[in-house]
Amino acid sequence: MTSRVASALRHVAFAIALAGLFLFATLFRFLHLKDGFPNDHFLYLAGAQQILLGEWPTRDFVDPGHPLMYVTSALAQILLGRTLFAEAMLVAVAFALAAALTAAAVRELTGSRVLAILAAVLEIAIVPRTYGYPKLLVYAVGFFVLQRYVTRPTTGRLLAVAAAIVVAFLFRHDHGIYLGIGGVLAAFLAAAPGDGRERWRRAATLAGITALMAATYFVYLQVYGGVWSYVQTGLEFRSGELSRQPHVWPAISGGEPHQAALLYFYWAIPIIAALLLLAFRRREDARTIVARVAPLVAVTLLVNWTFLRDPLTTRLQDAIVPAVTLGAWLTASAWNARHRWMWRPASALLIALFAASVIRVGSTIEQLDRASLLVTWRRLPEFLDEVGSALRASHAEKQLPSRTAHALWTFYPYIERCTTPNHRLLVVGFAPEVPVFTQRAFAGGQSAFVQGYYGSDKYQHAVLQHLAREVVPFVVMPAEVATTQFRAGFPLVANYVNIRYVPLVTLGADAATGVHILFDSTLPVAARDPATGWPCEVNNEWTVFAKGVGR
């Protein structure tokens, strides 16, 4: 009875610790947003807004392979209101849930509650960018259900693995592919080694169930453009990413030793784990160990190859879940190995070095201070109210993520006064926050026009087809650099803009760094906005102008 009570108490203590971590992570990531989201995050918010305005990825706008990112953000806004507060809650809870599930996966893999909590703490401490929450969440979920399946390979748990793979695929397609490889490998290895037919049957069953679950999405793709065309769209985006962000191998003695150290930790962990599996091949429990660990090794190597590219400052955070999960297994193996007098101090030293690198790369202390968690907790309600109020505001100054967003301060209320939701903005360069803060759909089927992405004639003609059936009174061109790159990267669209649009105003300090607003010269003008003198809507359905711009 005493051992049962002790075991129950340990379970309760672990559950309390996980709940505490979840609450702390949610609080931390929410308060961390007092200065707003990075402008990269607005790519997904702009896509979510398109959905809320009645459009869908692939069918109505270009999607490089992140449909569930848009849908999840749209659902959050349906539930919590169409403000940044909804996205803040989604992101905060997602990061917290990822940490808790990583701890659960490590507990299932190693049996150690201490290592489980340590893995979750390190995951929280590295502070990934807000738009990276799926990169943590889908792998935490995937690893947890994989470990549960290997522990007891039932049909229900196989279905959970398949569902996790499909959800990961819909968040970003390579996530699903990597977890799919890991899942099929786990299903194959979890069967008895002498039963080859059963191994192949389980692997094929998982692959078949996963394909069935994803079939509806592929039918959707085929109806709206074709699966092959969609694959080409994703490959073109991938090509642009790889050309802009290559792999880097920095020296430990360079300017960022902690980044370099963490990068090599990430690569060393799966390689050492694979070698250790070879060393364990004669153990009685070798089959279970291989079924648990080999899929993690495969997924970790794939994640490292995809994620660990330049710039490491933002990329290293994305690969934390495979590293801490597999690293926890290596630590547990070292702790229980022969010659513990040697392996335990060595593993403790490596954990300390890894943790120090995580804290430096994540700027953990600075980020905790930014979230006001290093001051007295008595003021916590005040901080929560301050951040919540800023996030609920339509365009609070602290929530503006870029110089472009600040320059357009007077443009946001003008668009609200003088256009309707039927009108769109064509935003040149990379400023996806502009459609979000104006609460207007982006035009041309693309939220950004960045040189090197979707610049072929095929995509430019698609943009022109969109523009021909859309009402787009304004073009927003941030700075001369973005304008120059737009003309070089999208000459057909730029020619359309040059012919149809005329300068209206430049907002910002000067022409070189300011934001140029162009107006559609084919629209007649009947009224002007009293506050700005710019053309203003007079019809509730469409903008109707009767006079010229006054050129």
Is the pLDDT at 237 greater than 90, yes or no? no
Whether pTM > 0.85 for this model: the answer is yes
Q: Please write down the long-range contacts of 190-196, taking CB distance under 8 Å and 24 or more positions apart.
A: 190/149, 190/150, 190/153, 190/291, 191/153, 192/287, 193/287
| pLDDT tens-digit readout, 417-447 | 999 999 999 999 899 999 999 999 999 999 9
| pLDDT tens-digit readout, 373-409 | 988 788 899 999 999 999 999 888 889 999 999 999 9
Is the pLDDT at 178 greater than 80, yes or no? yes
CA separation for the pair 453, 450 (Å, rounded): 6
Report which residue type is found at 115: L
Give the range among 28-32, 157-161, 284-288, 367-371 with minimum mean pLDDT: 284-288
Domain residue spans of the chain: 2-35+83-369, 402-520
Q: If we measure between CA atoms, which residue out of 446, 417, 422, 451 comes closest to residue 434?
A: 446
Share of the chain above pLDDT 90, in %: 74
Is the pLDDT at 69 greater than 60, yes or no? yes
Q: E strand or H helix at 519, and its extent?
A: strand 515-520
Q: In what order do the strands lie in the sheet with 441-442?
A: 441-442, 424-427, 474-478, 515-520, 501-507
Q: Can you give the pLDDT at residue 243?
A: 67
Average pLDDT value for the chain? 91
Q: Can you give the pLDDT at residue 114?
A: 95
**451 neighbors 234 (Cβ within 8 angstroms):** no
Backbone angles phi, psi at 57, to 5 degrees: -55, 145
**263 neighbors 317 (Cβ within 8 angstroms):** no
Structure tokens at 395: 């365009």
Report which residue type is found at 131: Y
Angle, CA 164 vertex, CA 163 and CA 167 arms, to 5°: 85
| pLDDT tens-digit readout, 199-221 | 899 999 999 999 999 999 999 99
In the block, residue with structure tokens 């738009």:
131
User: Torsion angle of alpha carbons 185, 162, 100, 75, nearest 10°?
Assistant: 150
Give the pLDDT band (50/70/90) at residue 542.
very low
| pLDDT tens-digit readout, 459-500 | 999 999 999 999 999 999 987 767 788 999 999 999 999 999
Is the pLDDT at 251 greater than 90, yes or no? no
Is the pLDDT at 526 greater than 80, yes or no? no
CA separation for the pair 509, 106 (Å, rounded): 53
Angstrom distances, CA of residue 249 to CA of 126, 175, 260, 354: 20, 24, 7, 18
Structure tokens at 16: 């309390």
Give the pLDDT band (50/70/90) at residue 550.
very low
Is the pLDDT at 62 greater than 90, yes or no? yes
